[in-house]
Chain A
Amino acid sequence: MIEQTSGDLHAALTAVGVGAQRIAALWWPSLWICTLVFCAVIAGLVLALTRRGRAQDGSTAAADDGDRRARLPIAAAVAVSVGLLVVLMALSVGADRALAKIDAAGAVEIEVIGHQWWWELRYRDPDPSRSFVTANELHLPAGRPVLLKLSAADVIHSFWLPTLAGKRDLIPGSPATLVLRVDTPGRHRGQCAEFCGLQHAHMGLLAIVETPAAWAAWAERQRRPAAPPGDARAARGLALVEQGSCAMCHNIEGTRANGVHGPDLSHLASRERLAAGTLANEAANLAAWITNPHRYKPGVTMPALTYPAADLDAIVAYLSELE
Chain B
Amino acid sequence: MKRRLLLAGLLLSGCERDPWYLPASSARLANDGGSAVAMANPYTRDAQAIAEGKRLFRWYNCAGCHAAGGGGMGVALMDERWRYGADDRAIYASIVDGRPNGMPAFGARLSEDQAWRLAAYVRTMNGGPNLAVAPSRADDLRASEPEARREPRAASDD
Contact = CB atoms under 8 A, between A and B. Distances in A.
A248 B25 contact: no
A304 B23 contact: yes
A183 to B, nearest CB: 41
A244 B109 contact: yes
Most buried by B among A154, A292, A304, A306: A304
A195 to B, nearest CB: 16
B59 A292 contact: no
Nearest to A240: B108
A303 B110 CA distance: 8
Contact of A243 (B22, B26, B35, B108): B108
Interface in A3-17: none
Given A244-B108, A248-B59, A298 B114 contact: no
Interface string A282-318: 0000000001101100110101111000000000000
Contact of A303 (B30, B108, B111): B111
B113 A303 contact: yes
Nearest to B29: A292
Contact of B110 (A172, A248, A291): A248
Contacts, number: 51
Given A243-B108, A245-B111, A299-B22, A306 B59 contact: no
B59 A261 contact: yes
B21 A298 contact: yes
Given A261-B59, A298-B19, A247 B109 contact: yes
A245 B109 contact: yes
Interface residues of A, number: 21
Given A248-B59, A261-B59, A303-B114, A298 B109 contact: no
B111 A304 contact: yes
A249 B109 CA distance: 10
For the complex of A and B, the 3 pairs showing the least CB-CB separation, nearest first, are: A299-B21, A303-B111, A304-B26
Given A292-B30, A298-B19, A304-B111, 9 more contacts: A244-B108, A245-B111, A248-B110, A291-B29, A292-B26, A294-B26, A295-B26, A298-B21, A304-B23
23 contacts: A198-B21, A243-B108, A243-B109, A244-B109, A245-B108, A245-B111, A245-B114, A247-B109, A248-B60, A248-B110, A249-B59, A261-B59, A291-B29, A292-B29, A294-B26, A295-B26, A301-B52, A303-B25, A303-B113, A304-B23, A304-B26, A305-B111, A306-B25
